[in-house]
Structure 1
């Protein structure tokens, strides 16, 4: 009489091994190919050159950020020691439900403080108004008027889509030759460098910010944005929208005299 049939198992308890089922095949789809990294150099000389190349890349990546720090260090001020300047430029920083974000509110608070102290006469608010349902300059204007800055002393730039655009338009469209710039501390150096490249003599006030997720994001972003800033300063591209000259700043200054 034949003995009991052997059962294939994968452990001492005799658990049956499940037969391998064929992998389903999807017509026209071969699957993703595994990512293959380049092979590491096998010789000492090859490894040395790879390390040198990596070091060169790191230095090149940090050059723009170093340029910003070195070239703007002597032009940073606070609301307490900012020189008297006719115009302040406040850069947009996003809206929350149609109202200035906390970061933007801090910038506007600094501008209102300078106005009340008699250190500035006109505020140029520059931001994004590329959609009908998103209007940074008008939200900034409303905030400033609610904090004591007369509407006739506020000028709006509705095409400040990025820092370079805002600086170029301040000079070419609104005729600003000198200004105090107001932004967060992690952004103000880039604003100073770009406005100088655009022909605006400026000092910068970097308002303090709470070290939250946005703060860390902003600081990290500036490392990469420094590269674009260097290219903008060298090649001086036209802003996304230039348009005709506007005389709002001149008229606002006339009411202050």
Structure 2
């Protein structure tokens, strides 16, 4: 009986401190703030960084093209989205816009290897293997950008991804200390996908802003590597 009385007393005090009307108001304010953060992050990402978007033909020259990884099929072949990115990287290299390619993606488990699949695709289409460097720990766009700067020493780059992800990629790479422009693929049908995943894109931009502000440590930073410098200096005939 004493326990029941204590529980009732506690409930009464809580109800007095937080009446239903006040709870509703607090929830409404938090909801409005949440929406404002989502939309505000997306607007800042897109408005502030769209100026750095180019085509292959108009892109200013840079040291490296950072080609972001994407899905690899169970047979080890790149998905159509990833193929489109790789083709842009190949065109940038062939046009002399960059001196090497840094292929960055997920190889977090032995059975899944985005960078190696990306390299095999490009080499199979005539790109010299010596002009390619691989980052096996690009588990996110943020981590790819941070590792490109601090592990591979990249200071000037053209980022390559799908067009709807360009502003976020530019923002993250520039925040990592890389003088970044970007070229985006627009050949893949994604309009309906983007609309259906609108909230996911808002959350991704909000996460990007969080990463820019708080600089979380990447999963694997690792020691510095010379593979990008070696690829830049390599003879394309090798």
TM-score bracket, shorter-length normalisation: 0.7 to 0.9
- Match runs of 1:1-257 below 5 Å: 54-97=31-74, 98-208=76-186, 209-211=188-190, 214-216=193-195, 219-256=198-235
Q: CA deviation at 1:86?
A: 1.9
Count of aligned pairs: 216
For the 8 Å contact 2:38–2:205, the answer to whether it is kept is no
Q: Is the 8 A contact 2:37 2:206 kept in 1?
A: no
Unaligned runs of 5+ in 2: 1-18
The Cα shift of 1:104 comes to: 0.6
Any conservation in 2 of the 1:186–1:218 contact (CA below 8 Å)?
no
TM-align CA RMSD: 2.4
TM-fit CA distance, 1:53: 6.1
Secondary structure at 1:79 match in 2: coil
Deviations 1:142-175 (A, max 9, x none): 1111122100000000000111110010000000
In the alignment, is the contact (CA less than 8 A) between 1:192 and 1:204 conserved in 2?
yes
Q: 1:255 to 1:62 in 2, by over 3 A?
A: same
CA deviations 1:167-191 (Å, max 9, x no partner) are: 0100000000010000011211111
Closer/same/farther in 2, CA of residues 116 and 63 from structure 1, 3 Å limit: same
Considering fraction of residues, name the structure with more helix.
2
Query: 1:140, 1:92 → 2: CA distance?
Result: 8
TM-score normalised to structure 1 length = 0.77
Distance in 2 between residues matched to 1:82 and 1:50, nearest whole Å: 47
